[in-house]
Amino acid sequence: MEIKRAVTNVRAVVLMVIFFTVFAIFVGRIAFIQVTKEVSGHELDTLAEERWSRSIDLKGQRGTIYDRSGGIIAEEVMSYNVYAVLNTEQREYVKDPSATAEALAPYINQEVDNLTRLLSQEGKFQVELGSGARNLTYEQMVEINELELDGIFFSSEPRRYYPKQTYASHVIGYTERNMTESRMGLERSLDEYLQGTDGRITYQADTKRIPLLNQEEMISPAENGHNVYLTLDSNIQTALEQIMTEVDEEYEPERMIAIVADPKTGQILAMSNRPSFNPNRYESITNYMNYAVSDHFEPGSTMKIFTVAAAIEEGVYDRNKQYQSGTMQVGPDPVRDHNYGRGWGQITYEEGFYRSSNVAMAKLALEDLGAEKLYDYWEKFGFTEPTGIDLPNEVNSLIARGSQMDVATTAFGQGTAVTPIQQIQAATAIANGGQMMKPYVIDRIEDPNTNEIVVKNEPEVVGEPISEETSEKMLGLLEGAVTESMGTGRPYYLEGFDVVGKTGTAQIPNPAGPGYIQGHGENIFSFLGMAPKDDPSLLVYVAVERPNISEMETGSEPSRKIFTTIMKQGLQYLNIAPTVEDIAKETEQGYRLDDFNGETVKKAKEVLSNEQLDVVVLGDGKNVISQEPAAGIGLLAGEKVFLRTDSDSYSIPDMFGWSSRDVLRLADVLEITPNLFGYGYVVSQDTEAGGAVKPGDYITIELKQKNDESVEQELENEQELEETEESSGEDS
């Protein structure tokens, strides 16, 4: 009995020791875990955080690109994709594939039969409906949604959108639709500014993802990308795109280049190329190069401007000195004038410039200036270095140096290759009293998160290759090249506007062998011009390569259409109208507009009506607070004068049949921004007549030429209606 009890006691002690040992290990483990907060190398805090934490990504938007007046050129928008649910176990599904396809097909660019087949597939839960059902705008989504089709749903995602389509597309470039990659233009070169930074909200939730009570959210805010404001002018750029498209369709040239600049500041107001592209449909791009900055070619006779300017500056140009035109021997090779070397006999250097004589330029370079001085001025005019314009992929020139023939041909624009933007920069010195302005297209870059301006460009003088006196003399010569009967720039004359400039007809090197491509129209036809002569406000360069012209047409016709359209509309937009003196010379009429600010509307209307001007009163106030055109502008009878009154509200008049010039004057006086599509006369407006507007609003106007038969008919109908209303008023 005693032995049995002793055994039992031993067992009890052993069990107790084991128990306390296990307990001690357990407690020690718990203490260890509490102190180290780690199990098998895994941190418990991290595991708990991962189990209970939830997060929501916050997307930072890509920055917006604007034109100079705040019009959107590129922006991030929400796009929509259409899909169809076919599973019959769902609450909503496509019940009638045939009827659904019939209603939906026109909205997504699908054939009804093909769409019916997609909607009739068995065993499919849901299906996508093709490329036409992707990347829809909000307006398109609403239109489809209003059809109330069973089983048709939408998914959304952000994408890059270019509302103005081909507008300055080579300047802007593009990104992939989902904005994962920037491909070209400013979209690529400014990617670090435009990219947004994603943020995140982190919070704790239970297993059902319901947020826990009294828990702190960790918020890392998203930051939107910077906004970019360009110097491009929407009205001038839009007009340029329209006329270039028209010329492209009519003449089918190999390519076209156009640049519009403010010579006083170097700001680029418009820039376009053909072939162009719509960045919303970048898959169809055929030309990735912005020819205005990324290509150099032999410019032709536009370079004679700078040869003569150098000669004047050096005091070796005598406009009345005579020389024998036609042919000049330079070493073993001849230099010929463009009329097959026939020339025009013994003529002055002034006439030689008007006629664009190659021999005159060769003699100036070789006999008067000398090679060293010529190339020295080429450097002063910026032809030996890229301009540094804030656009990607700018290339440099190729200057021909070495032989006497290199000097001669360089003087009249052959053998040496320069870029269009180099010519624009050099020409600012001619237009700007000798000061050469650096071209730029980015006005400023703003951080929308802080409203801070992070980049701001200002006009920059990059050289003074000539004096103000030489500039004035060159403007006089360039005027003669346009106004004189023998001037090659005669087709570019604009009645009422003092346009000056120089033509260029450049030969194209033959890729198949030595020499140049020969044949009618097988050249690059260009014009470098500015206006008005006494104080140039616009500088325009246009080049058209190998247009398809008839034997009866000259090569200047396509470039003339572009230049004169843009120069005229641009000057009108800038309110640079013909002076009263100009009008008087041409019509023996004219009225210099008085300043009516502060006058009563009654008095202003009385004065203007007596001058047979069309008075448009804006608002119902009694006094005039602003007017367009400004005081001092010359007007003819019948022209519109806009008087803004001291009113609390303003409404848009019926603008049908108005010229673009009148639309721009209305916009200026009301301080609203017009988006003009087309050119010519107003055929539609998005804000109906009588609709209220306030400063800062946008209006969209469509214009067409008067020779459009539909426009002519509408204008006639409008006139008949007005005459009927007038006669009805008299009868009553």
pLDDT tens, position by position, 312-342: 999 999 999 999 999 999 988 999 999 989 9
Alpha-carbon span 612 to 635, nearest angstrom? 10
pTM for the whole thing?
A: 0.76
E strands present in 331-482? 333-336, 346-348, 436-437, 442-447, 452-456, 461-463
The residue-averaged pLDDT of 606-629 equals 91
Lowest mean pLDDT among 21-35, 589-603, 622-636: 21-35
Higher pLDDT, 343 or 282: 343
Q: Is the pLDDT of residue 35 over 80?
A: no
- What the block records as the tokens of 20 is 């306390």
- Categorise residue 70: left if φ over 0, alpha if ψ from -120 to 50, beta otherwise: left
The residue-averaged pLDDT of 106-123 equals 88
The residue-averaged pLDDT of 491-508 equals 89
> Is residue 615 within 8 Å of 608, Cβ to Cβ?
yes
Long-range contacts of 321-325 (CB under 8 A, 24+ apart): 321/348, 321/349, 322/346, 322/347, 322/348, 322/349, 323/347, 323/349, 323/352, 323/359, 323/360, 323/363, 324/359, 325/352, 325/355, 325/357, 325/359, 325/360
pLDDT band at 266 (very low <50, low <70, confident <90, very high): very high
Q: What is the pLDDT of residues 355-366, one digit of tens each?
A: 999 999 999 999
- What the block records as the tokens of 214 is 């009294």
Element at 79 (helix H, strand E)? strand 72-85
- What the block records as the tokens of 285 is 């791009």
User: How would you class 359 by CB atoms within 10 Å of its CB: exposed for 0-12, middle for 13-18, buried for 19 or more?
Assistant: buried
* Phi, psi dihedral angles at 411 (to 5 degrees): -65, -30
* Phi, psi dihedral angles at 168 (to 5 degrees): 50, 40
Element at 3 (helix H, strand E)? helix 2-36
- What the block records as the tokens of 479 is 């005027």
Alpha-carbon span 260 to 236, nearest angstrom? 8
Q: Is the pLDDT of residue 85 over 60?
A: yes
Higher pLDDT, 581 or 518: 518
- CA angle 571-574-576, nearest 5°? 55
User: How would you class 399 by CB atoms within 10 Å of its CB: exposed for 0-12, middle for 13-18, buried for 19 or more?
Assistant: middle
Catalytic site includes residue 53? no
Q: Is the pLDDT of residue 162 over 50?
A: yes
Alpha-carbon span 296 to 306, nearest angstrom? 17
- What the block records as the tokens of 641 is 């004068």
Highest mean pLDDT among 163-167, 387-391, 506-510: 387-391
pLDDT score at 11:
73
pLDDT band at 230 (very low <50, low <70, confident <90, very high): very high
Q: Is the peptide bond before 158 cis (omega within 30 degrees of 0)?
A: no
Residue with tokens 């119902």: 620
pLDDT band at 711 (very low <50, low <70, confident <90, very high): very low
Q: Is the pLDDT of residue 283 over 70?
A: yes
Q: Is 347 helix (H, G, I), strand (E, B) or coil?
A: strand
- Residue 502, strand partner residues: 528
Element at 701 (helix H, strand E)? strand 698-704
| Length of the chain measured in residues | 732
Element at 603 (helix H, strand E)? helix 601-610
| Residue whose C-alpha is closest to residue 441's, from 270, 322, 611 | 270
Alpha-carbon span 622 to 686, nearest angstrom? 29
Q: What is the pLDDT of residues 4-24, one digit of tens each?
A: 666 667 777 777 878 777 777
> Which one from 301, 325, 559, 659 is the annotated catalytic residue?
301
Q: Is 461 helix (H, G, I), strand (E, B) or coil?
A: strand
> Is residue 508 within 8 Å of 517, Cβ to Cβ?
yes
pLDDT score at 730:
38
CA distances in angstroms from 324 to 212, 294, 480, listed in the order given: 97, 39, 21
Q: Is 703 helix (H, G, I), strand (E, B) or coil?
A: strand
